[in-house]
């Protein structure tokens, strides 16, 4: 999926992302023109998506819904044809999940695009944000601390450390999207 000669712009072209150029000036009251929401489809992503959607709606901004796949180490022990099957299945599932988020964004009158990336999530998100002139990255965080953060890593922290644009991290609050809507 991600070869050393493949760059982020090539990955973006492969995902058929069609975006208009960002206007040189912002409209009055507009803070962000293009927002990238990075998701791993976990519970921690739900409140982050809701925040990204709210900010995109308030600013009249484009919303890029991004997910990055990394080839699992165990696949190297499988026959080569298994890799192709895994890649196809992974892409279908990702498109289905992002499609549901895009549908919700369109329902809220927000212009949304699907962004399928490959490689380590933090690298892919930071590189895509740079190449696509993103003003804000919104990403969820599990809120891990101590030993679990050390062993599990923290994509959000690495994005914050490396991104050239604003980054909003949204802590998982334990509510599901359905229960949040009922309030």
All structural domains of the chain, each given as residue ranges with its CATH number in brackets, are 31-112+120-182 (3.40.50.620)
Residues pairing with 79 in the sheet:
none
Mean pLDDT of all residues in 149-160: 71
- Supply the pLDDT for residue 79: 78
- Report the sign of the C-alpha dihedral through residues 32, 34, 38, 39, in that order: positive
CB-CB contact of 151 with 38 (8 Å): no
Higher pLDDT, 153 or 78: 78
Give per-residue pLDDT as tens, 16-52.
555 666 665 677 778 999 999 999 999 889 999 999 9
Token code pair at residue 105: 């964004």
pLDDT digits (tens, 9 = 90+) for 74-133: 666 777 777 778 788 889 999 999 999 999 999 999 999 999 998 899 999 999 999 999
- Is the predicted pLDDT of residue 9 greater than 70, yes or no? no
pLDDT in tens, 57-78: 999 999 999 999 877 666 667 7
């Amino acid at each position: 999926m991600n070869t050393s000669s493949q760059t982020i712009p090539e990955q973006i072209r492969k995902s058929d992302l069609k975006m208009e150029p960002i206007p040189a000036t912002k409209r009055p009251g507009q803070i962000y023109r293009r927002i990238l929401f990075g998701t791993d489809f976990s519970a921690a992503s739900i409140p982050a998506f809701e925040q990204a959607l709210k900010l995109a709606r308030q600013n009249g901004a484009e919303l890029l819904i991004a997910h990055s796949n990394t080839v699992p180490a165990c696949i190297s022990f499988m026959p080569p044809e298994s890799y192709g099957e895994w890649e196809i299945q992974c892409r279908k599932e990702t498109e289905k999940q992002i499609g549901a988020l895009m549908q919700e964004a369109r329902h809220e009158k927000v212009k949304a695009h699907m962004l399928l990336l490959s490689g380590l999530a933090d690298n892919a998100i930071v590189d895509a944000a740079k190449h696509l002139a993103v003003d804000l990255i919104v990403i969820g965080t599990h809120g891990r601390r101590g030993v679990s953060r050390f062993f599990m890593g923290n994509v959000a922290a690495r994005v914050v450390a490396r991104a050239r644009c604003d980054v909003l991290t949204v802590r998982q609050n334990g509510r599901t999207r359905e229960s949040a809507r009922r309030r």
